[in-house]
A and B are shown apart, each in its own frame.
Chain A
Amino acid sequence: MNRENNTNYLVIALSGGKLFKPSIQLFERIGIDLKGGKEISRKLTFFNEEEEIKFIITRPKDNPTYVECGAADIGIVGEDVLLEEKKDVYRLLDLKFGRCKMVVAALEGGKQEKYYKNNGHRLKVATKYPHIAGEYFKKKGIYVELIKLYGSVELAPQVGLADMIVDIVSTGRTLEENKLTIIDEIIPISAQLIVNRISYKTKHKRVTSLSQDIKKFISLESDKIAEW
């Protein structure tokens, strides 16, 4: 059997984008050589043949889909993706990197009350995360209209498309540059290690030893990881 469809291989799905670099660093620190995968290239799969590991690079939002269907055994994905779309996967570890916050933000000078008080004006909220935003406002008892966008959400309040946005922020610089301030924090976000529900059973030994290695490393270096 060749390595492309060898069921002995452990398939690990990495998220492209900002989680990619810290993910790679994580594997290197626990002693797994990623071979050709260090550079972001157009190639989406690479192998570590000694350890029988196949790495694949997915779009962050697609990551849990690969894991849920078993196309990958393990995935590294932001909690925001898991919160937005429920997937039937085991969530094993909080990896503590890729830290950011899911927040509500509005144009500068606004206070929460100003926005959350209903003055006969139905609030419009632009977001890439309609499910998370919807749940949040429902819990608060605030009736809003959600506008689903695919990116550059910060633009929406400036051009009058929305009153507020719900989005993830890490440094807050993008918000600042677009004259937005945080009016509430919904939930802290970080990268998570997820596992397919069958792989967790059938490849249990490999999955657990990997996750234990990672866990050990995280608890040792948790302060440094935050800086990644």
Chain B
Amino acid sequence: MNIPKGLNDLLPGEVLKRRLLENRISKIFTQWGYQEIITPTFEFYETLAKGAGSMMQKEMIKFFDREGNIIAFRPEMTTSIARVASTKMQLEPKPSRLYYIGNVFRYDDKVGNQREFCQAGVELIGVNSKEADAEVIALAVESLKNSGLRKFIIDIGHINLFNGIMQSIKIEEKRKQEIKEAILNKNFVLLEKILYFSDIKDEEKEFILKMPTLRGKEEVLEEVEKIINNELSMSALKEIRGVYNLLRNYKLEEYILIDLGIIRDFDYYTGIIFEGYTDYLGFPVCGGGRYDNLCSKFGENIPSTGFAIGLERLIMALEREDINSLNLERTEQYLLYYQNNEDNFKKALVVAKDLRKKGLIVELEVGKRKFTEVLKYARSKGIKYILIVDDKRLNKIKRVEVVSEKEEIINYE
């Protein structure tokens, strides 16, 4: 039997890694005061579309429910959480710190055409301050660090830097739109052509072409401050500087670069935006930013910021960095084998109960197999010991170490 395109069954080995990663990340989120929230897997399309640009609207997986409503699977979590924050949590003391771990759905995600993937992220709701921006970026760094990833960089930028430049340039709206689109599509060949035929100053042309490559430490800000003279971009630079200085106090500057060429796919961002990169992936491992107007689309306006980590992507990066980074030390597994009569069965149950109480993993032989077969099974499943309960010994059981087949009699009351 097949399953629909782009979906996956996760087999136990993969689930183990995934849960380990989820635990590592949710532990950090919790320690920073974030509380978990769960929202529905699918919602009214109308609701989710409020947070999605036209590109993302096309990528949503939609269907009709029995009542004739258009329903869509959530393509990301932020819109749903903004809806909850502004319709059901308005009275909660601010800021609200919320986190989630959940699956999201899109047609043809860029990485391997997956349609279902898992995101873990946070939203810091109710504060518009550089301290809030710095906190979520710092938390993104801590989460990646704690997941086990060693080599990564978070790039921070600002949505208004580019908006300000586009506003200040005096050309017709249609041209502006073309320039924006070329930049969004990362098509510099086209961009250069459009700029060549546009009636704008040479310095401005040069800067627009150069902007996507401006990336580095503070010196980038100084470089750009000399060129830019519109208010919107200036205040964006000031915000970046403010957040960068705070992150320096967090002692995280080794993980941070200022990047004036960040382009994020979502339309709802209004301020600081950021993305996380590693050498091991050709796409970002996490991303986020400030969205101060999204909540107002559902009711009360609440300034917010947040980020999401792609868990499949993170697992890929972790395993490329170190193949064993998600192979945790497993709890020792036991298999209880008993000689077939009721007394032995009863005794085996008592032993199993005791060991489980101690936190060990114990499985009971249910197949009435010969010992040699059980040994083979235990070996291939990575079980460490087989315990044998038989008639010969009262208050004693035999313990066989699976790999070495070494036997030992242990006392048992």
Q: Which residues of A contact B (CB under 8 A)?
A: 7, 67-71, 88-94, 192, 196-202, 204, 208
Contact = CB atoms under 8 A, between A and B. Distances in A.
A198 B277 contact: yes
B186 A7 contact: no
B64 interface: no
B327 interface: no
Contact of A198 (B189, B190, B212, B283): B283
Q: Is the interface of A mostly helix, strand, loop or mixed?
A: mixed
Contact of B282 (A71, A92, A93, A94): A71
A94 B196 CA distance: 15
Contacts of B185: 91
22 contacts: A68-B283, A69-B282, A69-B283, A70-B283, A88-B186, A89-B186, A90-B186, A90-B212, A91-B186, A91-B188, A91-B190, A192-B189, A197-B282, A197-B283, A198-B282, A198-B283, A201-B215, A201-B259, A201-B277, A202-B277, A204-B213, A204-B215
A217 to B, nearest CB: 16
B299 interface: no
Nearest to A72: B282
A90 B282 contact: no
B187 interface: yes
Nearest to A208: B213
B391 interface: no
Contact of A7 (B188, B189, B279): B279
A94 B259 contact: no
B255 to A, nearest CB: 14
Nearest to A66: B282
Interface residues of B, number: 23
Given A197-B283, A200-B212, 17 more contacts: A7-B280, A67-B282, A68-B282, A68-B283, A69-B283, A70-B282, A88-B186, A88-B283, A90-B186, A91-B185, A198-B277, A198-B281, A198-B283, A198-B284, A199-B282, A200-B213, A204-B213
Interface of B: 110-112, 153, 155, 185-190, 212-213, 215, 259, 261, 277, 279-284
Most A CB atoms within 10 A — which of B112, B188, B277, B282?
B282
B188 A196 contact: no
Contacts of A208: 213
A43 B268 CA distance: 47
Contacts of A7: 279-280
Given A94-B189, A192-B189, A201-B277, A88 B213 contact: no
A67 B282 CA distance: 8
Given A69-B111, A204-B213, A91 B187 contact: yes
A200 B155 CA distance: 13
B188 to A, nearest CB: 5
Contacts of A204: 213, 215
Nearest to B282: A70
A7 B282 CA distance: 11
Contacts of B283: 68-70, 88, 197-198
Given A69-B282, A70-B281, A201-B277, A90 B110 contact: no
A7 B320 CA distance: 11
Given A70-B283, A201-B259, A202-B279, A92 B111 contact: no
**The 9 A-B residue pairs with the shortest CB-CB distance in the complex, in nearest-first order:** A70-B282, A7-B279, A90-B186, A91-B187, A196-B282, A94-B189, A69-B282, A198-B277, A91-B189
A204 B259 CA distance: 12
Contact of A88 (B110, B215, B259, B277): B110
B190 to A, nearest CB: 7
B215 A92 contact: no
Most B CB atoms within 10 A — which of A70, A94, A192, A208?
A70
A139 to B, nearest CB: 17
A136 to B, nearest CB: 18
A74 to B, nearest CB: 12
Contacts of A92: 188-189
A67 B292 CA distance: 34
Contacts of A69: 111-112, 282-283
A68 B187 CA distance: 14
